[in-house]
Amino acid sequence: MIVVATDELDQLLDERFGLSRADMVVALKNLPAIKPGTSALSPDQARLLDESGFVEDPEAYAVVTTDSIIQLALLIRTAYSVSEVASILRISESRVRHRRTARTLWAVRRQRTWVFPALQFDTDMTTGRPIRQVRGLDQVLPALPPDLHVVAVAGFLQTSQIDIQMNHQPQSPLDWLRKGGDVQSVLAIVEAANWAL
The pTM (predicted TM-score) of the whole model is: 0.74
| 115-150 CB burial, b ≥16 within 10 A, e <16 | bbbbbbbbeeeeeeebeebbebbbebbeebeeeeeb
pLDDT at 10 over 90: no
Q: What is the pLDDT of residues 117-134, one digit of tens each?
A: 999 999 999 999 999 999
Count other Cβ atoms within 10 Å, centred on residue 49: 13
Side chain identity, residue 78: T
Which pLDDT band holds residue 38 (cuts at 50, 70, 90)? Answer: low
In residues, how long is the chain?
197
Residue 108 bridge partners (DSSP)? 115
Range among 2-6, 55-59, 71-75, 152-156 with highest mean pLDDT value: 152-156
Domain boundaries, the chain: 134-197
**161 vs 17, higher pLDDT:** 161
What does the DSSP 8-state code read for residue 164? E
